[in-house]
Amino acid sequence: MLKITVKGRELFDERTNEFVNAKDAVLSLEHSLISLAKWESKWHKPFLGNAEKTEEEILDYIRCMTLNTNVDPGVYRLLDESNILAIKDYMSDSMSATWFSEKNNPKSKQKAVTAELIYYWMIALQIPVEFEKWHLNRLLTLIRVCNIENAPKKKMKRKDVFRQNAALNEQRRKLMNSTG
């Protein structure tokens, strides 16, 4: 979870033509599958991926990440550069010590990943639904580890099988003092 403090300041309300004092606010944010599902149910498009997002879409994702209740909607307009940078750093953090070799990382074949697809992966891999509250990157890492560990073992090439059998036969001949 990420906690950020949004500094209050004096703002001008164009509707009432008055200055308004906005107070400091502390936001508790969680980048999770739940946040992703909330955002995608509103915007009807995948959040993850390379598609550009508008400022409104990004601010709305931060709203979806917010665990606090009864947050004044104007608080999100007060986010400064340091707040946005902290949120981006938090969202990009792997939250794991696990790493993958490039062999197991087929980025070129990546398709749009939606909340429903992630829920499907969780169901297929028998990952408990409670994990939807995990940091999204950590959940995706767990899914990837499960896929790698559950992958069928690769078959040996024919020439490698012959080479292995020849070595075993030679070993047995020596052990049995045989020529045949």
| CB crowding 41-51: b at 16 or more within 10 Å, else e | eebeebbbeee
Report how far residue 57's alpha carbon sits from residue 59's, in angstroms, rounded to the nearest whole number.
6
Average pLDDT over every residue of 31-57: 93
Q: Report residue 60: phi and psi, to 5°.
A: -70, -35
Q: In this structure, what token pair is assigned to residue 127?
A: 């990952």
Q: In this structure, what token pair is assigned to residue 101?
A: 């070799």
pTM of the complete model beyond 0.85: no
Which of 132, 31, 130 minimizes the C-alpha distance to 87? 31
| Confidence check: pLDDT of 106 > 90 | no
Average pLDDT, the chain: 88
| Confidence check: pLDDT of 144 > 90 | yes
